[in-house]
Homo-oligomer: A and B are copies of this chain.
Amino acid sequence: MNKKQNLIDAAIRLFADQGFEGTSTIQLSRAAGVTEPLIYYHFEGKDDLLRHVLKLIFNRYFKRLDEVDVLSGKEFQKIKRLISFHLDMVQKSPREISLISNGCPLKFSDPENICKKSLEKQREYLTEILSGCLKKGIAAGEFKDVPVEWTVELILALIVGLIRQRNLYAENIPAMRDAAVEFCRRSLLIDG
Residues of chain A at the chain B interface (Cβ within 8 Å): 17-19, 21-22, 102, 105-109, 119, 123, 144, 146-147, 150-151, 153-154, 156-162, 164-165, 167-169, 171, 175-176, 178-180, 182-184, 186-188, 192
Q: Smallest Cβ distance from A135 to chain B, in angstroms?
A: 16
User: Can you identify 14 A-B contacts, CB atoms within 8 angstroms?
Assistant: A18-B107, A21-B22, A102-B102, A146-B183, A150-B175, A150-B179, A151-B183, A153-B171, A157-B164, A160-B160, A160-B161, A161-B161, A184-B187, A186-B186
Beta-carbon contact of B21 and A144 below 8 Å: no
A119 to B165, CA, bound (A): 11
Beta-carbon contact of A106 and B161 below 8 Å: no
A180 CB contacts on chain B under 8 angstroms: 154, 157
Q: Smallest Cβ distance from A180 to chain B, in angstroms?
A: 6
A164 to B101, CA, bound (A): 10
Beta-carbon contact of A183 and B179 below 8 Å: no
Which of A123, A164, A180, A182 is the most central at the interface, judged by chain B CB atoms within 10 Å of its CB?
Answer: A164
Beta-carbon contact of B105 and A105 below 8 Å: no
A102 CB contacts on chain B under 8 angstroms: 102, 105-106
A186 to B186, CA, bound (A): 7
Beta-carbon contact of A176 and B161 below 8 Å: no
Beta-carbon contact of A153 and B179 below 8 Å: yes
Beta-carbon contact of A165 and B171 below 8 Å: no
Q: Smallest Cβ distance from A39 to chain B, in angstroms?
A: 16
Beta-carbon contact of A176 and B153 below 8 Å: yes
